[in-house]
């Protein structure tokens, strides 16, 4: 190999390494503007986001609302066109430094192909939400930009210790504090260590996105999943769908968040959620962490999607440490 060829290989490797590091939107500071918009389900009343506005303003942020955030089009927060308009304006407005989703539900997948991300790619900002917002997390991950899997505007409305922890974690992420979680280990955990970008979100949405331009590639990454209101056989079917799409082939680790309000079928499924997951992933060699507090519960800790994490799963305690 000539010196020129060697330098070319080194340059290519360096370029690929840089390409694998996602863009990080600027952290917020006092005086910045954050927008609340609704890309999915209808908001029942204006009071549902008053607490969020109050807390964000206490953080020193200026809060603006999408024009149609309280629009009512049956299941949706306005028509597709109205939701597209609000989100597009918030994306393109240079004075807005972060976008907090009003709520989830369903509807983001109806409009994702009509959003223009060109200005956003040049000047990224934090996109915050979970559940149906998995569509945005996945799509934006493929654009090479980090997002925040965390509570939405309607989530601020109740007050308890778990909610306080979730709010504190979101503030820490937005303002650039160090992020690390230490949690008790489940007896079902598969111990081990792993390092990679964290990706994923709501299982139903991840399955729905397979085969689209918004589907993520979990190769060399740590996959996080959560869901709500599903039967165990639904969860089994969706996980097998991901498995058949190669999701676990080169995955570095698996984090199981809340699977809330699992529905009971008239015929017993025969396995617990944990047993189901372990059965589907038994041929793979990566650590699995059960019971991570993120998803459809009050203690919905914020995760920086696309950020490299170090995952250590032990018998007594487990740690998720985000790269600064």
Q: Which domain holds residue 57?
A: 33-174
Shared domain check, 227 and 200: yes
The answer to the question of residue 7 being in a domain is no
The answer to the question of residue 16 being in a domain is no
Half-sphere exposure of 279 (CA within 13 A, CB side): 12
| Boundary residue ending a domain (174, 205, 239) | 174
Shared domain check, 186 and 269: yes
Q: Which of 168, 174, 165, 190 has its CA nearest to residue 274? A: 190
Q: Which residues contact 221 (CB under 8 A, 6 or more apart)?
A: 196, 197, 198, 199, 251, 252
Q: How confident is the model at residue 118 (pLDDT cuts 50, 70, 90)?
A: very high
What per-residue confidence (pLDDT) applies to 20? 82
264 is catalytic: no
Spatial distance between the Cα atoms of 124 and 25, rounded to a whole number of angstroms: 5
The answer to the question of residue 23 being in a domain is no
What per-residue confidence (pLDDT) applies to 17? 35
What per-residue confidence (pLDDT) applies to 227? 98
Q: What percent of the chain has pLDDT over 70?
A: 94
What per-residue confidence (pLDDT) applies to 9? 40
Residue whose token pair is 């799509």: 139
> What is the tens place of the pLDDT at every residue in 14-39?
333 344 899 999 999 999 999 999 99
What per-residue confidence (pLDDT) applies to 2? 43
What's the domain count of the chain? 2
Residue whose token pair is 């390494």: 17
Q: What percent of the chain has pLDDT over 90?
A: 92
Shared domain check, 297 and 251: yes
The answer to the question of residue 151 being in a domain is yes
Catalytic residue among 82, 146, 226, 230: 226
Catalytic residue among 82, 131, 204, 234: 131
> What is the tens place of the pLDDT at every residue in 172-200?
999 999 999 999 999 999 999 999 999 99
What per-residue confidence (pLDDT) applies to 44? 84
| Boundary residue ending a domain (122, 139, 174) | 174
Shared domain check, 239 and 165: no
CATH number where 246 lies: 3.50.30.60
279 is catalytic: no
User: pTM of the prediction?
Assistant: 0.94
Phi-psi region of 238 (alpha: psi -120 to 50; beta: other; left: phi over 0): alpha
Q: How confident is the model at residue 5 (pLDDT cuts 50, 70, 90)?
A: very low
Catalytic residue among 68, 137, 149, 296: 296
Shared domain check, 311 and 211: yes
> What is the tens place of the pLDDT at every residue in 131-157?
999 999 999 999 999 999 999 999 998
58 is catalytic: no
The answer to the question of residue 241 being in a domain is yes
Spatial distance between the Cα atoms of 236 and 278, rounded to a whole number of angstroms: 11
Give the SS3 label for residue 134: helix
Spatial distance between the Cα atoms of 309 and 324, rounded to a whole number of angstroms: 9
Q: How confident is the model at residue 61 (pLDDT cuts 50, 70, 90)?
A: very high
């Amino acid at each position: 190999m000539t010196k020129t060829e060697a330098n070319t290989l080194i340059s290519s490797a360096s370029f690929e390494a840089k390409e694998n590091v996602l863009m990080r939107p600027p952290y917020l500071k006092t005086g910045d503007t954050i927008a609340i918009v609704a890309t999915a389900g209808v908001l029942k009343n204006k009071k549902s986001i008053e607490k969020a506005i109050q807390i964000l303003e206490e953080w020193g942020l200026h809060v603006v609302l999408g024009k149609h955030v309280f629009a009512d089009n049956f299941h949706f927060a306005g028509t597709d066109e109205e939701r597209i308009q609000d989100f597009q304006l918030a994306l393109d407005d240079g004075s807005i430094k972060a976008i907090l989703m009003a709520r989830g539900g369903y509807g983001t997948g109806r409009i994702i192909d009509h959003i223009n991300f060109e200005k956003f790619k040049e000047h990224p900002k934090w996109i915050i939400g979970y559940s149906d917002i998995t569509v945005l997390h996945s799509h934006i991950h493929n654009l090479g930009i980090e997002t925040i899997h965390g509570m939405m505007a309607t989530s601020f409305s109740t007050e308890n210790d778990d909610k306080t922890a979730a709010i504190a974690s979101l503030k820490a992420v937005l303002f650039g504090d160090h992020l690390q979680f230490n949690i008790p280990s489940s007896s079902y955990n598969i111990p081990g260590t792993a390092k990679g970008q964290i990706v994923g979100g709501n299982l139903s949405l991840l399955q729905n996105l397979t085969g689209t331009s918004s589907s993520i590639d979990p190769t060399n990454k740590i996959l996080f999943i959560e869901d709500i209101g599903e039967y165990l056989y639904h969860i089994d079917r969706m996980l097998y769908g991901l498995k058949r799409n190669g999701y676990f082939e080169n995955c570095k680790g698996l984090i199981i968040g809340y699977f809330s309000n699992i529905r009971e079928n008239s015929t017993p499924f025969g396995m617990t959620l944990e047993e189901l997951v372990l059965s589907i992933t038994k041929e793979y060699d990566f650590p699995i962490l059960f019971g991570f507090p993120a998803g459809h519960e009050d203690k919905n800790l914020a995760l920086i999607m696309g950020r490299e994490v170090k995952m250590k799963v032990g018998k007594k305690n487990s740690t998720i440490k985000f790269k600064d």
